[in-house]
Amino acid sequence: MYLQIHHFSHCVLLAVLLGLAVDVTSGQKSIQLIPQYPVINGAVTLRVTGITEEILNFSWFKAPNTNAQYQILTYIPGSSLPPVNGPQYNPRITAFSNGSLQIKDLQITDGGNYTMKIQTVRAAQDINVYLTVYEPVTKPKITGPTTQPKENDTVTLTCDTSKATTIRWIRRSAGISSEAKLSGDNKTLTIIVKRGDSGEYRCEAENLVSKESSDPYKVSVAYGPDKARIQGELLVGLGSPITLTCSADSEPDPEYQWRFNGKVLEQKVNKYGISNATTENQGLYTCVVRNTVTLRDATVSVYVNVSADIISQGNGISAMTIGIIVAIVLLLILIAATIYLFIMHKRRKSPSHTNSNVKGSSKNGQADIPTQPEEQHELQYAAIEFSNNKPKNQEKPETIYENRSPQAPPPSDNVVYSELKLC
């Protein structure tokens, strides 16, 4: 390839872009890669810096030495003579007047050691640089023995990718188990899986020039069935429905089998129902739960009673419940009546006034008039005798009148004997 400089402005532009000028640069001579991490199919410039002397010619070599067989090209800066191409030259290479070299459409084979020989009026000097052509990482992909391992199984996930210098593992919405183990290059992840290890896993691959992430890899840890249970009414009335629901902790969802008094029923779902129960439906109901992945079973049974004493009402209240309510109401009424009668009995036994003992006396042949309460609640039989002849040697009787109403004065002597009965 000939060094082609179309016009002066083009040369000036290149010099500005590279920040180089043979006459103005100073410092230690070196070669810089622009960009620092060149990528396959991209371009790179091997930029020469630190030149302060007058240059007679530049020669580029691709090899650990400057033998002629490794020569790319040689040219004289500012000369109208074309470059002299060597065995390692290819059309993708361009040389600049300041000594820099550009390679386009990079290939992996372009990588290696490059040497620039600078010939000055004083001496020749070699400057070396190593060119690495980077490839972007390939999109990683996770592979594993199964997406549905059993609980306590050992699972190894592999992140398939290339050109990566760093690999990271990520689990969506959660971290990786602390018991997980990584290989030296982080390409494999090994876990003794528990239920909590289920989730979506990703691996990220990265190098100096690119970064890629895998598609999610879903792990669903199979376990169970555990804690099998049946829910439903176990005491139903004639004509009422029977509804039983079987469930268990299981991943994936288990299969179900129902049995009645040991006989296998047709239902294969978790719910068993009868619309109108009869006494023939009374008995032992069993649910067998099976996990098709773990190959484990769980069994649970309940006894359902069907009674004629239990009649379902439209509002869901049974006749037995109504009977209990009525009995409670009657009991409350009986208690209230008992309390009332007890209070009334107490009132009847307590007199409103205290009775007094009254002593009778004889004065002029007449008995003293006893003092009696104004009101009496009970009257007893009493006999009073009157005589028209005053008895001889009459003693003063002491008579106690109990519960008697006030009496009139004693009758006169002409009153004949009489008998009074008070009630």
Residue-wise pLDDT for 154-172, tens only, equals 999 999 999 999 999 999 8
CA dist., res. 355 & res. 188, Å (int): 113
Is the pLDDT assigned to residue 225 strictly greater than 80? yes
Q: Average pLDDT for residues 83-111, to the nearest whole number?
A: 93
List, in order, residues 6 or more apart from 18 with CB less than 8 Å away.
34, 45, 47, 96, 98, 100
Amino acid at position 324, single letter: I
Distance CA 389, CA 161 (A): 151
- Residue 62 pLDDT exceeds 50: yes
- The confidence score (pLDDT) of residue 378 equals 42
Provide the pLDDT for residue 122.
80
Q: What is the pLDDT of residue 53?
A: 81
**How far, in Å, CA of 212 to CA of 125, rounded?**
43
pLDDT score of 360 more than 70 = no
25 close to 49: Cβ distance less than 8 angstroms? yes
* Counts of helices then strands in the chain (DSSP H, E): 2, 27
Of the two residues 367 and 225, the one the predictor is more confident about is 225
Cα separation, 88 vs 179, whole angstroms: 54
Alpha-carbon gap, residue 271 to 231, rounded angstroms:
10
Residue type, 284: L
Say yes or no to pLDDT of 29 above 70. Answer: yes
Q: Look up residue 139 and give its amino acid.
A: K
**Residue that has been written with the tokens 């002299």 in this structure:** 84
User: What digits encode the pLDDT tens for the residues 263-297?
Assistant: 999 989 999 999 999 999 999 999 999 999 999 99
Q: Are 187 and 169 in contact (CB under 8 A)?
A: no
In the prediction, which pLDDT does 239 show?
93
pTM of the predicted structure, to 2 decimals: 0.58
